[in-house]
Amino acid sequence: MNSLDQLITKAQNQPTKTLAVVAPQDKEVLMAVVEAAQMGIISPILIGDIDETNKIAKELNICIDDFEKVDVKDLTESAKTAVQYVSSKKADFVMKGLVDTSILLKEVLNKEYGLRTDSLLSHVMVYEVPAYKKLLFLTDGGMNISPTLEQKIKIVNNAVKASKILNKEEIKIALLAAKEKPNDKMIATIDAANIKQRYLEGQFENGVIVEGPMALDLAISKEAAKIKHYESPVAGDADVLVVPNIEMGNGIGKTLTYFANSESAGIIMGAKAPVVLVSRADSHKAKLNSIALGSLISAV
């Protein structure tokens, strides 16, 4: 897949997935959910303030009569109910609506009925960048502020799982830093070198190629790699950019969106099922893309 439209088409061509929507009383979220349902990507379960949701649907002139609905006014209870639907297999994945992220993730991580695993929750974005030849994954610019070495390994593994939707024989991972040689004063370079060594020792899945530390230009530009005499199968051909901290990830992501006019999709990985967690500033298309992405990952 080289575009998010292809991602949506792939989601349409697989069996319909059931999506539990927490607090669907949000115009943009509801519009994206209805469109995804019309495309056959999902069968939604709306869990929240149904009176308000029906009011919004009427204002938007969209029909939600055939959707399953669970009227839960309290936001914490709506998040709890949605998570329990997923953990009991009544739904395949969950989406954040008009509810605080902290409320939803607290329920996702609940030890009794939640979706926690031995992994780490991490944010994975997928971008369709006009100047790049294929879809580009970016992690983690949304959850983990300054991950440790072991957390970075889990972030890489989460990204690998998400990237399996591409059905590629090889997934090329670029561990980003400001330079290519390990430097004791730059922890990002030390961690990247350590992770690459674990890759060389066979600690990652077959088909995963890990390179680092490497600067962003080397990861995405073969010309830059050629000029700098940097040889690697990842150079200029990265599928996944792994950032060392949230500042770099946030900065790259917003640059791709606002300066490079990139379309995107986002998901939380590391739980038993994907969590569609979108920003209120995200476009309607980005929300639809994210639903399609979640549906595909839930089938992996």
The total number of structural domains that make up the chain:
2
In 206-262, the DSSP E strands lie at 208-214, 240-242
Shared domain for 43 and 100, answered yes or no, is yes
Shared domain for 156 and 61, answered yes or no, is no
Return the amino acid letter for 130: P
Give the pTM.
0.95
Proportion of the chain above pLDDT 70, given as a percent: 100
Identify the CATH number of the domain in which residue 96 sits. Answer: 3.40.50.10950
**CA dist., res. 276 & res. 290, Å (int):** 6
In a domain, 24, yes or no: yes
User: What average pLDDT does this structure show over 188-199?
Assistant: 98
Shared domain for 108 and 129, answered yes or no, is no
In a domain, 264, yes or no: no
Shared domain for 250 and 207, answered yes or no, is yes
pLDDT value of residue 284: 85
Query: Which pLDDT band holds residue 240 (cuts at 50, 70, 90)?
Result: very high
Q: Over 90: is that where the pLDDT of 53 sits? A: yes
Shared domain for 192 and 90, answered yes or no, is no
In a domain, 164, yes or no: yes
How many other C-beta atoms lie within 10 A of the C-beta of residue 259? 8
Shared domain for 108 and 205, answered yes or no, is no
Shared domain for 148 and 235, answered yes or no, is yes
Shared domain for 243 and 288, answered yes or no, is no
Q: Over 80: is that where the pLDDT of 259 sits? A: yes
In a domain, 263, yes or no: no
Q: Over 90: is that where the pLDDT of 120 sits? A: yes
Query: Which pLDDT band holds residue 282 (cuts at 50, 70, 90)?
Result: confident
Shared domain for 69 and 145, answered yes or no, is no
In a domain, 266, yes or no: no
The 10s digit of each residue's pLDDT in 12-25 is 999 999 999 999 99
Q: Over 80: is that where the pLDDT of 166 sits? A: yes
Identify the CATH number of the domain in which residue 179 sits. Answer: 3.40.718.10
pLDDT value of residue 300: 83
Shared domain for 58 and 133, answered yes or no, is no
In a domain, 100, yes or no: yes
Helix (H) or strand (E) holding 266: strand 263-269
- Range(s) of the domain holding residue 77: 4-116+271-298
In a domain, 244, yes or no: yes
The 10s digit of each residue's pLDDT in 70-97 is 999 999 999 999 999 999 999 999 999 9
User: What average pLDDT does this structure show over 86-114?
Assistant: 95
pLDDT value of residue 283: 81
DSSP tag of 16:
P
**CA dist., res. 151 & res. 184, Å (int):** 19
Q: Over 90: is that where the pLDDT of 281 sits? A: no
pLDDT value of residue 121: 97
Shared domain for 279 and 235, answered yes or no, is no
User: What average pLDDT does this structure show over 123-139?
Assistant: 96
Q: What is the chain's mean pLDDT, rounded?
A: 96
CB distance 182 to 193 below 8 Å: yes
In a domain, 265, yes or no: no
Provide the CB-side half-sphere exposure for 203 (13 A, CA): 14
Query: Which pLDDT band holds residue 280 (cuts at 50, 70, 90)?
Result: confident
Proportion of the chain above pLDDT 90, given as a percent: 94
Question: For residues 48 and 280, which has the higher predicted lDDT (pLDDT)?
Answer: 48
Shared domain for 107 and 131, answered yes or no, is no
Question: For residues 283 and 53, which has the higher predicted lDDT (pLDDT)?
Answer: 53
**CA dist., res. 7 & res. 1, Å (int):** 7
**CA dist., res. 71 & res. 69, Å (int):** 6
